[in-house]
Structure formats: structure tokens, C-alpha cells
Amino acid sequence: MTIEVEWARMTAPDLRAIAARGGALAILPAGSLEQHGPHLPVITDTASAHAAAVAAARLVAGGPDPVPVAVLPGLWLGLSEHHLPFGGTISVDYAAYRAILESIVRSLRALGFARLLIVNGHGGNVDPLAVATRELAVAHDMPIVATTPWFLSPERLAAVFDSDTMPKHACEGETSVMMVIAGDTVKTGKLDEAMEQAPAPVQSPAGFSRFYSFSERAPVTGTWGDPRTASVEKGKRFLAIQAEALAAAIRDPVLWSRPDPVWRPGRGLETTAGKAD
């Protein structure tokens, strides 16, 4: 029997029972609502993050040492302004995004959940999540971890790719995963069209940061990477690798230690081991 892990499918008493157990974990899939070329739906990042989160939760919810876990509905708002030139995109700024995340954290704390894992599916969320999770963990005295499954187990993921060695955007990887979880939304007849790029994409110099519109990365179709080699079989392998990496992280005690209360009055007079000399 499959253990239910999806928040939206459970009742309030179900969730109260999970929260009451020691170390209860909430997982928030974080994605976007943005263009994904002519062949993938705009919900791709949210859907793929949710699928990886649910698969990981099912791995840790069973077995001899089960983890009390619930996967929230995917957060479909992200920082996606760089995709606006292609249409179909809704974006928020960092202030709004952080406020949404803080409201979720406050709610989870009030409900009794002990920790939060944010499973991210959108590149534009990586930096904002890195800052927000550090701030919110300390402010709310709660272990909060954010990760992007496409960046985990890079060697294993690279071995699945044929057209590339890493995920890009609306590429072989994302297209394969969507073939598994929402195959009816993938327009396979548009895969050749997705590769019709001209002029050449802008290549940014390494080590520098500035704003790039995705119209510079993928000037015509909004596709970065080659989706033509995607398949259901690859999608299943991608998801399995991501779920296993997330499950290992959920059980890693180093990730889930209590945040150091660095803003506590007098904290600067101490070291981690105790009072300073």
C-alpha cells in the first residue's frame, strides 16, 4: 500500500498527526509559471519539482525508520522576469517571494512541523532561495534547507543525457520528466521547432553576474538545450536519481542541525564551543 505523503490529499487530522511526531518534515516544491519553448507547458518547473519531492517523500515515509513527512502543493510563483519576452510567464520580485516563503514558514511553525525542505525546479529561484532560507532559518529558529534536484548527483544525471551533460531549459531532461508525469501536455511535434534558434545565443563570461533576459540565451524559441532526444525511459531515470538524492539529504543529520542563533544578544561574546577567552 502506498503511503499518502501529499498535503493536499490529506485531512487536517492527518496532518496534525504527522506534525505531532518528532522531526516532522514539510517539503515545499518551488517552481514557476513561465514559458518552456513551443513544446512544454508553462507549469513544467513546478510539476517536475513536485514529482521529485513526492517520490523522495515516499522513499523516506516507509521502511524501518519512517520519516513523518508531508509534501505541500507546488509554489508556482517564482522569479521569472527574464522569461517575460516569450509570453505565458507570471513573475514576482524578491520581496514578494520572501514574504510568501516567510508566511509558509510561520504557518508550519504554528502547526508544529519541525523542519522544511524546499525542492526547487527553477533556475531563477536558486539565488533568492539561498538568501531567503538562510535568513528565515535564523529568524524562525527552524532548520530550512533548499536544493535544486537537477544539480544533485551530477555524474549520475549526466550519464542519462544524450544531447548534453547537464539540464538547461525545456531541454532533454525537462522534456523527459514531463513525458512521464504529464505526457499529454508535451507537444512532441514541436521538438524540431524548439531548436530553430537565430541569432546565436549570448555567451556570458565566466565569473561575472548581470541581468540576462532569456531572449539573449534562447533568442527565438525560448528553448536552451536539445529536447529531441527526450524519452519516457530517461524521465523515469532522472526522477529516480533525484528522489534518491533527496531521500539521502532528508536523512542527513548535518543538514538538519538547529540554526545558530547568531542574532541573540551577547552571541558575539561566545564561540560555538562556549564562552570566548
Most confident segment among 160-169, 172-181, 213-222: 172-181
- Report CA 238 to chain centroid distance, whole Å: 14
pLDDT tens-place string over residues 169-208: 999 999 999 999 999 999 999 999 999 876 678 888 899 9
Tell me the pTM.
0.95
Give the separation between CA 1 and CA 19, rounded to whole angstroms: 22
Least Cα distance to 42 among 172, 182, 198 occurs for 182
Give the separation between CA 27 and CA 254, rounded to whole angstroms: 18
Least Cα distance to 121 among 19, 6, 254, 239 occurs for 239
Q: At what angle do helices 44-61 and 232-250 cross, to 10 degrees?
A: 60
Which residue type does 87 have?
Answer: G
The mean of the pLDDT values for the chain is 95
Q: Tell me, what's the pLDDT at 36?
A: 98
Return the HEC string of 69-130: EEECCCECCECCHHHHHHCCCEECCHHHHHHHHHHHHHHHHHHCCCEEEEEECCHHHHHHHH
Radius of gyration over every alpha carbon of the chain, rounded to an integer in angstroms? 20
Helix (H) or strand (E) holding 29: strand 25-30
Per-residue pLDDT band for 276 (boundaries 50, 70, 90) equals low
Q: Tell me, what's the pLDDT at 271?
A: 75
Q: Tell me, what's the pLDDT at 153?
A: 96
Give the separation between CA 131 and CA 93, rounded to whole angstroms: 14
Contacts with 1 (C-beta within 8 Å, 6 or more apart), sequence order: none
How many CB atoms sit inside 10 A of residue 153's CB? 16
Per-residue pLDDT band for 64 (boundaries 50, 70, 90) equals confident
Beta-ladder partners of 259: none
> Is residue 55 classed as helix, strand or coil in its secondary structure?
helix
Q: Tell me, what's the pLDDT at 99?
A: 98
Which residue type does 120 have?
Answer: N
Mean pLDDT, to the nearest integer, of 3-12? 97
Q: Tell me, what's the pLDDT at 201?
A: 80
Per-residue pLDDT band for 105 (boundaries 50, 70, 90) equals very high
pLDDT tens-place string over residues 230-248: 999 999 999 999 999 999 9
Largest CA distance in the chain: 70
How many CB atoms sit inside 10 A of residue 154's CB? 14
What are the grid coordinates assigned to 70, written together?
A: 508531508
Q: Tell me, what's the pLDDT at 106?
A: 98
Domains of the chain, start order: 7-253 (3.40.50.10310)
Q: Say yes or no to pLDDT of 155 above 70.
A: yes
pLDDT tens-place string over residues 266-275: 999 987 776 5
Q: Tell me, what's the pLDDT at 217?
A: 85
Mean pLDDT check: name the lowest of 56-65, 90-99, 128-137.
Answer: 56-65
For cell 527553477, what's the residue? 122
Least Cα distance to 40 among 149, 240, 182, 150 occurs for 182
